[in-house]
Amino acid sequence: MGRPATRPAKLRDGFYIEVRNKGAKNGIKIRRDDRAAMLEAVSEYRRVKDIIILGESKGDKWLEKPKEAV
């Protein structure tokens, strides 16, 4: 095996959403290059999953954070 990572992974530039199964506590982060592609992914997953829009990341910093989950 190996040792676990000691630092969190760096985020690439883009727009992030978190996709969870309904009622789950954790999910996976999905990155899209632009806002339109992110909103398209949200509409695609919305039927069967819980979606949380995390915002835009640039230079490993969050530029915007929305106030509510979708």
Q: Is residue 44 part of a domain?
A: yes
Q: Is residue 57 part of a domain?
A: yes
Q: Is residue 6 part of a domain?
A: no
As given in the structure block, the two tokens for residue 70 are 């979708």
> In residues, how long is the chain?
70
The answer on pLDDT for 36 being more than 90 is yes
Q: Domain count of the chain?
A: 1
Q: Is residue 3 part of a domain?
A: no
Q: Is residue 8 part of a domain?
A: no
**Mean of pLDDT values over 58-64:** 87
- Residues contacting residue 68 through CB under 8 Å, at least 6 positions apart: none
Q: Please, which pLDDT band fits residue 67 given cuts at 50, 70 and 90?
A: low
Residue % of the chain over a pLDDT of 90: 70
Q: Is residue 18 part of a domain?
A: yes
Owner of token pair 């490993």: 60
> Which pTM was predicted?
0.80
In this structure, of 10-14, 17-21, 29-33, 64-68, the range with the lowest mean pLDDT score is 64-68
Coil, strand, or helix at residue 36? helix
- Structural domain boundaries, residue 42: 14-64
